[in-house]
A and B are shown apart, each in its own frame.
Chain A
Amino acid sequence: MIPSPDVREGARIANLAADLLLATSNDQKGRTGSDLRRACGDMKAHAENYIVENVIAEKLSNCFELARTTGATLSEFDHLRERLVVEATGSLVGMLIKNGSICFSLQQMSMVIVDTNFTSREDVEEVRNEVNVAFDQAEEVAADEMALTSYRALVSLHAAVTFHLYETARPLPQMLRFQFASPRPTLILSHRLYDTAARADQLREENKIVHPAFAPREGRALGF
């Protein structure tokens, strides 16, 4: 079989997605990691056949799903999405696979967000801004393609994620800045801020303090 140039371009995009998915979990061991490696390897080896047989969509979706279950993070999926967005395509097949992969990334990003435990409103706000940019771009593309079903599904998912983030942020404390006159141990900072020394570790992790006996004068702490 000699694939047409369109199919070759589509396979190139699928291979790129598979490479980026493999890069998200290169340190993963065990069954889930091997499943991902096998699925991505299969995709790279047979992408052209899968396009011709019209089963590439299910295979790609499976690769993205496996990447998430293996532990791919939100920023890794976002990086993958950004990498695919800038990838130039000149054929219909390439464009379909590229936009489909971007949608798969957005799905997995949404699933990762649902499974994430946030500690402060600022964290949620940051993720929301990141996700809004990603969804806005995909919605624009889907609208330009006149892909009505995809556009509606994207808008619905965008709304669901935004609502989830809003619901998540509501009970969380705000992150506040503090400033003391001199460097102090985190135990003292915790006691001064919260009336208990038990949250010293939390302050150390939040401010990435090298040594807990010498916390910087300025830093960030949860509002309550």
Chain B
Amino acid sequence: MPPVVIPQQPVQNSQPVAAGSDAGASGATKILELKSGIAWRRKWMPAKFRGARFHVETAVRESGRRIVNHEFPKRDVPYAEDMGRRAREFTVRGYIIVYPRDVAGPGNELKKKNYLDARDALIKALEEDGPADLQLPLLGWLKVACTRYRVTEENRSGGYCVFDMSFTEFGQAPATGNRRSSPAGVYYNVNQLNQATIDRISSGLKAAYGAGQGQAT
């Protein structure tokens, strides 16, 4: 009876392939060396609101179109009327946590043994009047207003607090869109009307006679 030959199984390498290097020779690949999936990391930005930094656990962006549905009697086909873009809303769960040691320097506001300073700074920023810039790690930057926030401290998680924050897109007030301040608006529209009137008279005369044609024969 011939011996049973078991074909050699290919080696299952559970380690991902490193970018441009021999993974096997250098040992385990670090996650930052992954070729796939590194692009989003390059776009990562520290989260902050009104300059107050925080860590982000989840960040949700919501928007869409403001659709009004019209349904008509005796008709099968409805009409979804588009009334414009819905205001963008952000729901963010952030946290601030103690750091084992104080790290000095700009951009290291969260790397402190005393996390209360960063927490209070964020609370102050959230309660301050007016719109502010919200920067989220991967959802970009927008001028928003904070509609509500909740900060949670738990006894069993000392040195750690959670912020649940809601923001809405600030946009721009209608009065500051195309409307100028009141005297400037009047001056601007006076010039517009002046030009329109001159054009109206000139084009009317031109259409009626053409230049130099308004003479009786």
Q: State the A residues within 8 Å of B (CB).
A: 1-7, 51-54, 56-58, 60-61, 92-93, 96-97, 99-100, 103-104, 106-107, 110-111, 113-114, 147, 149-150, 152-154, 156-157, 159-161, 163-164, 167-168
Q: Are B189 and A111 in contact (CB under 8 A)?
A: no
Q: How far is the CB of A6 from chain B (nearest CB, A)?
A: 7
Q: Are B215 and A1 in contact (CB under 8 A)?
A: yes
- Docked complex Cα distance between A106 and B189 (Å): 11
Q: Are B192 and A96 in contact (CB under 8 A)?
A: no
Q: Are B189 and A153 in contact (CB under 8 A)?
A: yes
Judge whether B179 is part of the interface by a CB distance below 8 angstroms.
yes
Provide the residues of chain B in CB contact with A161, threshold 8 Å: 186
Question: Lowest 10 A-B CB distances belong to which pairs?
Answer: A164-B182, A57-B201, A157-B189, A153-B193, A57-B198, A160-B185, A153-B196, A103-B197, A96-B204, A52-B214
The interface size of chain B toward A, counting residues with CB under 8 Å, comes to 32
Q: Are A107 and B190 in contact (CB under 8 A)?
A: yes
- Docked complex Cα distance between A60 and B188 (Å): 20
- Docked complex Cα distance between A54 and B189 (Å): 24
| A6 to B, closest residue via Cβ | B214
Q: Are B198 and A52 in contact (CB under 8 A)?
A: no
| B212 to A, closest residue via Cβ | A52
Provide the residues of chain A in CB contact with B205, threshold 8 Å: 51, 54, 56, 93, 96
Provide the residues of chain A in CB contact with B216, threshold 8 Å: 2-5
Q: Are B204 and A92 in contact (CB under 8 A)?
A: yes
Chain A CB within 10 Å, residue with most, of B195, B196, B208: B196
Q: How far is the CB of A14 from chain B (nearest CB, A)?
A: 10
Judge whether B147 is part of the interface by a CB distance below 8 angstroms.
no
Out of B185, B202, B204, B213, name the residue touching A164 (CB < 8 Å). Answer: B185
Please give 13 more A-B residue pairs, beta carbons under 8 A apart, in addition to A56-B201, A111-B187, A153-B193. Answer: A2-B215, A3-B215, A6-B214, A52-B212, A57-B197, A57-B201, A61-B198, A107-B193, A150-B196, A152-B196, A153-B197, A160-B180, A164-B185
- Docked complex Cα distance between A149 and B190 (Å): 13
- Docked complex Cα distance between A58 and B195 (Å): 9
- Docked complex Cα distance between A169 and B109 (Å): 49
| A109 to B, closest residue via Cβ | B190
| B179 to A, closest residue via Cβ | A163
Provide the residues of chain B in CB contact with A160, threshold 8 Å: 180, 182, 185-186, 188-189
- Docked complex Cα distance between A56 and B199 (Å): 11
Q: How far is the CB of A181 from chain B (nearest CB, A)?
A: 43
Provide the residues of chain A in CB contact with B198, threshold 8 Å: 57-58, 61, 100
Judge whether B211 is part of the interface by a CB distance below 8 angstroms.
yes
Which residues of B in the span 150-186 have a Cβ within 8 Å of any Cβ on A?
A: 179-180, 182-183, 185-186
